[in-house]
Amino acid sequence: MSRLEKLKEKRREGQKPQQERKSVKTTPSEPRSHMDYTIEETENWHKKQRVDGSENVDKLAESTYYKDISAIKVDLQAYKEGKAADPTELSTILAANTERKTKRKRHAKDADADSYINEKNKQFNMKLNRQK
């Protein structure tokens, strides 16, 4: 067979419908190409993909937060009473807090006070603490 005859045969074979050229078994489970889908089918498929439950978690958390906040009942009367507390009462609370903090610090400093026998031993212990 000459080269010209081979080319003519390929041309004739190329003009035949695709099903005649290749006998490929297609099963229903085999996916179709994207060109076989209509625009409506494609849009419906994309909608289903969006509503599969994996929406933005941050958006869901935010909406839940605002929903919970809107359900909270605020007692404005109690809030105003607490806000208008007696200034002397506030100062006593602050004084008690500062006293508690300084007492803790003082206690921590005094913990090492009894760990020495005499003044020379105290200086030696302080020197050891500085070297640590």
Residue 81's pLDDT is 85
Whether 109 is covered by a domain: the verdict is: yes
With a cut of 90, say whether residue 3 has pLDDT above it. Answer: no
pLDDT tens, 90-121? 788 889 999 988 887 776 666 656 677 888 99
Whether 131 is covered by a domain: the verdict is: yes
Number of structural domains in the chain: 1
pLDDT tens, 59-93? 888 999 999 999 999 888 988 887 787 777 778 88
With a cut of 80, say whether residue 127 has pLDDT above it. Answer: yes
Average pLDDT over residues 11-26: 62
Mean model confidence pLDDT for the chain: 78
Whether 65 is covered by a domain: the verdict is: no
SS3 letters across the chain: CCHHHHHHHHHHHHHCCHHHHCCCCCCCCCCCCHHHCCHHHHHHHHHHHHCCCCCCHHHHHHHHHHHHHHHCCCCHHHHHHHHCCCHHHHHHHHHHHHHHHHHHHHHHHHCCCCCCCCHHHHHHHHHHHHHC
Whether 19 is covered by a domain: the verdict is: no
Whether 38 is covered by a domain: the verdict is: no
Whether 25 is covered by a domain: the verdict is: no
Whether 56 is covered by a domain: the verdict is: no
Give the domain range for residue 109. 86-132
- What tokens appear for 50 in the block? 């969006």
Whether 125 is covered by a domain: the verdict is: yes
pTM: 0.25
